[in-house]
Structure 1
Amino acid sequence: MSSVSVGRVLRRGACAGAVGALVAAGLGSGVALADDQPQSDQLWIQAPYEQSVTVAPDGGAAQFRSLALGLYHDNDNFTVTDGRLTVDVSGLAGVADVSWPDNCTPNDAGTVAVCDTADVPTRWSAQVQLKVQAAAGAVVGAQGAIEYSAEATGGPDGTLVAPQDSAETFVTVGSGPDLGISAPQDTTDVAPGTSLTVPFSVTNTGNETAHGFNVKMWATYGLDVVTRYPQCTYSGPDDGGEYTPMTYVTCSFDTDIAPGASVDLLEPLRLAVTDHALYERFDYEVQPGGDATDLDGSDNGRSWHITADNTADFAVRGTEVSGAAGDTVTAAFRFVNRGPAWVGNVSSGDPVAVIDYYLPEGTTATSVPDTCRNAWTSGDDPAIGHYACTLPLWAKPDLKVSFPFQLRIDRVVPDATGRVVVHPHSDTSSTFDPNSKNNSAKVVVNPSA
């Protein structure tokens, strides 16, 4: 789940790669397709690569487990309908049995079915819910495969077909605990200062008891973890150095969870939405204790997205400098987040802003900050240098970043005026900055008296 990937990304600093990719592409520089340019589309199958089922008990039937499937396509300029997902479970013979939902029509042998997914979205959602159980007599470790194919109506040629062999699910018979936590509903328009309770209940859907369980939690900078358990250790939010400021919690509980049982934490887990909260997320995951391996990790981690009713004010400040022809001057500008909120792109790792700097006429940049690049495009005035500068993936309130460009004055132009423009960006929404007046500034070389 995403909670694991977020924690790993933040600890490893992999967000730097995302920042570099964004710089190379240019924030907000999506390619606009001309009206007469041919467009393409592609149909895809969404299916888990692995699925475990619990071995059948002696003299009894194994429990059914859900297998979520669906179709999606790439280009939202096309309407795609009549999705047909073909599911072939013949490879599960002797390993697992399948119960088909109402929107699937199986053949006489019950091994291949065509499932109707109706309209096909551009963002995947579960459209087919199979039920899978271990076959009678199947032993732990037995494995089989489900194969898929799909087509739908729509796209540039009228029909879309999923790539052959693009999806497959390996079903394995196992035995052990299978812990999971339910998915929370995202929360919006939360007032700063609000206290929230995390929906945290752990259920064991496996066939063996979990002897204790371990929990990991990550809370972004705008959330305080109020509840403190003696079984947990806490770090952050300012212990992460150059990485995103977060609170990180690790816990070990010794409570047994029997098959089919659910347990809650010792007391409700409370979060405080701080005055500097904006686009927040709380990630948490659970694993069985000891050396036990969880049968199915797909429901072990969850992300709770919390949006505060708050704003952040991104601003840039310019400067005025003077010099003679041939001189090199420092013509810096500065970024500041006036708050009250912080902004952090903890999902994508993208910068929270890109700042365009158009040099004053008659100047050439001889030294450029490390986070800036030449951004000249064919649409720019060739006599005016253009640079794009990026911020980190987060900006706390009162963050100040200076960009000390060194400019050579090639020729003196009275009141030569450069332009600085900050473009705020957030994974969630870029409407957090209500004051656009201070999103631009001037850098003037040789101002008139």
Structure 2
Amino acid sequence: MRKPSAGRVARLGACVTAAGLFTVGMAATPAAADSDQLWITAPYEVVLPKAADSGTQTPATTVALGLSHDNDTYRVTDGRLTVDVSGLAGLAEVTWPENCAPTGTTAVCSFPEVPLTGFAQVHLKVRAASGVDVGAGGQITYRATATTTGEGGVLTASENWSTVRVASGPDLILNQPTPVSGVTPGSTVPVPFSVVNNGNERADGVQVSFYVSRGLDVGAIAPQCTSTPLGEGTIKAITMVDCAFDDVVEPGGSFTLPSPLQAKVAPFAFAERIDMGVRPGGGVENLSPEGHGAIASISATNTADFAVRGARLTAAAGETVRADVTFRNRGPAWIANLGSGEPVGSVDVTVPRGATVTAVPDACEPRTADGGWWESEQRTGAPRYLCQLPIWVAEKQTVTFPFDLRVDTVVTGAKGAITLKPSYGSGFPHDPNAANNKAKLVLNPAV
């Protein structure tokens, strides 16, 4: 099994959903509570620009590698990644980083601590050998082991590999901005943006795309750019900015915007981002599949008070009443899971005694009384429901989950519980008031 490459940043134009979500990649299936899995993170494909016949050579291509594991219960250390480049014989030259010890065509790369996420910790430099023609190819293979505090004491990763081929063309690479945090709402922050052509042919024109989250405003950027709000409803979660520049970028040359990119941070900003993509003009594709997207992450110092509201209803036996379970983001910040696409939270609803649910909102899934899976094919009639909120909620936005309750037996003061829960963990770091994260759904309250 191969874990998706952490270095493959999806261009957001292909990944924007109707709800305005930026999706950056897949996640591997998490390990069970009592198990763990060691993963090798590596690119699927490495494309090397053809070496020049004479004169200045193109820059070496970076192959970013990493190790990770799934279960935070265990500490994983002494990772050893074996990289075998024998499949590149006669095709390419490899420069090893300091944390790799080469012996012939293999090297063992050391990871004193193996993290839970697969960011790159080893960077090989690979360059096509002189005289190798376009279309020639090979393979790099990887094996890995690590020491774990879990059962057995050792983790072994499934073998992984990268296909390598030689090609010709422009290859525009974006710099990767450093995340910025602690930004004050209302301020303006610079957004680093620069491009280099690591290919062996010039780029005749540069196409740039920006997908800007709602809490940021980058303005017009340049006359060569057009802006389009994306998303359903009156509130648009994303603004897409497409730019077409006539600049010619020679191999080894660079490109920057006509003026520095800056973002105005809105009063309602929280965890914001600008996803950027670049490609050559004229419909030409970049030479390699990696490096053409970047994310500028900008986090504002802000809060968002999440709250839920229940209802007090009266009905006789046999009657059906509408119960509106309501979520509200009191702000001042909007909250959006732009990277993961996870709901911002869920609302757990326990049905009052003596009542049966006869109509259920689409976003709500039935559960057993203790929160387990509801085995029946009928979504109605369950004693408990878990309602998923959207992937983003604007400041002051309300989300209502309407339930129809049939009163089978009148139970005076029957109380159902309403609890707001995060997608992961035990609380909302942005929420300054956890007291209003719970409410009651009361049927036939006592007079």
Do the structures match in fold with TM over 0.5?
yes
Q: State the secondary structure of the residue aligned to 2:16.
A: helix
How far apart in 2 are the matches of 1:281 and 1:226? 15
Q: Deviations over 1:341-377 (max 9, x none)?
A: 1111121222112111122221111112221121224
Picking from 322, 326, 345, the partner of 1:353 is: 345
Taking the aligned partners of 1:441 and 1:79, their CA distance within structure 2 comes to 39
Which aligned pairs between 1:328-407 and structure 2 lie closer than 5 A? 328-378=320-370, 385-407=383-405
Is contact 1:179-1:294 (8 Å) kept? yes
Is the contact between residue 312 and residue 442 of structure 2 (CA under 8 Å) also seen in structure 1? Answer: yes
1:40 pairs with one of 29, 35, 44: 35
Query: Once the 2 structures are TM-superposed, how far is the Cα of residue 13 of structure 1 from its aligned partner?
Result: 6.2
Cα separation, 1, equivalents of 2:206 and 2:106: 39
Report if aligned partners of 1:319, 1:333 keep a CA contact under 8 Å in 2. Answer: yes
Q: Sequence identity, in percent?
A: 46
Q: Which residue of 2 aligns with 1:87?
A: 83
Partner Cα distance (2:74, 2:415) in 1: 46
Aligned residue in 1 for 2:213: 220
Matching residue of 2:61: 65
Give the CA deviation at 1:148.
1.9
Distance 2:37 2:89 in 1: 32
Corresponding residue for residue 122 of structure 1 = 116
Match of 2:157 among 159, 162, 185: 162
Structure 2 residue matching 1:404: 3-state secondary structure: strand
CA contact (8 A) 1:244 1:346 kept: no
In 1, distance between residues paired with 2:18 and 2:289?
22
Q: Which runs of 5+ in 2 are unaligned?
A: 1-6, 24-29, 375-380
Aligned-pair distance for 1:12? Answer: 6.2
Question: Who is 2:436 aligned against?
Answer: 438
Q: Deviations over 1:107-160 (max 9, x none)?
A: 3xx322333333322222433332211112101111111122222333421222
Match of 1:55 among 50, 56, 67: 50
- Shift in Å, 1:443: 2.2
1:117–1:319 distance in 2 versus 1, CA, 3 Å: closer
CA distance in 1 between counterparts of 2:226 and 2:424 reads 31
Aligned length: 426
- Among 98, 101, 111, which residue is 2:105 paired with? 111
Segments of structure 1 that go 5 or more residues without pairing to the other structure are 18-29, 34-38
Which residue in 1 is equivalent to 2:378?
A: none
Q: Does the Cα contact within 8 Å between 2:196 and 2:252 map onto a contact in 1?
A: yes
Runs (4+) off by over 6 Å: 12-17
Please provide the CA RMSD for this pair: 2.9
**Structure 1 271/41 Cα, relative in aligned 2: closer, same or farther at 3 Å?**
same
In structure 1, what is the Cα distance between the partners aligned to 2:347 and 2:190?
Answer: 38
- Asked if structure 2 preserves the Cα contact closer than 8 Å seen for 1:3 and 1:285, the reply is no
Structure 2 CA distance for aligned equivalents of residues 295 and 352 of structure 1 = 38
Relative to 1, partners in 2 of residues 1:424 and 1:103: Cα closer, same or farther, differing over 3 Å? closer
Match of 1:306 in 2: 298
Aligned residue for 2:196?
203
1:321 is displaced (CA, Å) by: 1.9
In 1, Cα distance between the equivalents of 2:85 and 2:31? 42
Per the alignment, residue 144 of structure 2 pairs with 150
Which structure is higher in helix share? 1
SS in structure 2 at match of 1:91: helix
- Change over 3 Å in CA distance of 1:3–1:241 after alignment to 2: farther
Shift in Å at residue 62 of structure 1? 4.2
Match of 1:10 in 2: 16
Deviations 1:195-220 (A, max 9, x none): 11210111112222111110111111
Letter aligned with residue 253 of structure 1: F
Of 160, 165, 168 in structure 2, the residue corresponding to residue 172 of structure 1 is 165
> Match of 1:138?
132
